[in-house]
Amino acid sequence: MMNDDTRIHELSKVMMKEPVLIQGLPGLGYVGKVAVDYFIEKLKPKKFAELYSSYLLFPDGNLGINISEDGTYSLPKYVGDAIIGERLKKLGAKLARGGAVTGAAGVILGIGRQRGLQCAGLLGATTGVYPDLEAARAVIQMLTGLVTMPVELKDLDTEIEDMRKKMEKLRRTDLEESKEGEEEKPEEGKDRYIT
């Protein structure tokens, strides 16, 4: 229980020894959500509290993400702060040189740093167009190495392979349909209407 705008509802009392907070949000490519859902599925943790806050929203009109002219997003693979940056580097992380983490993700990191906690934000590089299982896998692999929490990735690898096959099938179907559309083009100068 913090203030009227933020409250913690405890479902059960727990004694924690070296606790780790893992937050996964349904942002671009659902990377964080996919990663956390996978941890929940594999580790089956017990929920002991819920956080409610009016502050966990994106700022109006600014997601803190640069979007190129062709509509793609450019994100670093991983972002970490200086406190645990060396550990992240040893695990193969690429540390961000600048920028900001905004919205709920930024709030949690900011509160953690204010309270003197070791914090890192792991961001999977994604186009953000569809749920990105590969980016989620990269984040899961990085996180399991960082907090020495082994999680079997075989099921996720199977899902990734299935997704690749589906995407390839969609790509081929789209290509075939675009070729058919070219064959049906009306001749130049002919009327282009349907009666």
Per-residue pLDDT 10s for the chain (195 aa) are 455 688 899 999 999 888 888 888 888 889 999 999 999 999 998 899 998 887 665 444 444 444 455 555 444 444 445 667 888 888 888 887 777 777 778 888 888 888 888 888 888 888 888 889 999 999 999 999 888 888 999 999 999 999 999 989 999 998 888 887 776 666 665 665 555
Residue 120: helix, strand or coil by DSSP?
strand
Q: Give the global pTM.
A: 0.68
Residue 8: helix, strand or coil by DSSP?
strand
Per-residue pLDDT at 63 = 45
* Contact yes or no for 151/140 (Cβ under 8 A): yes
Per-residue pLDDT at 65 = 47
Q: Phi then psi for 125, rounded to 5 degrees? A: -70, 125
Q: Domains of the chain, with CATH numbers?
A: 6-153 (3.40.50.10900)
What gap in Å lies between CA 187 and CA 170, rounded to an integer?
29
Q: How many CB atoms lie within 10 A of CB 121?
A: 18
Per-residue pLDDT at 59 = 45
Per-residue pLDDT at 78 = 41
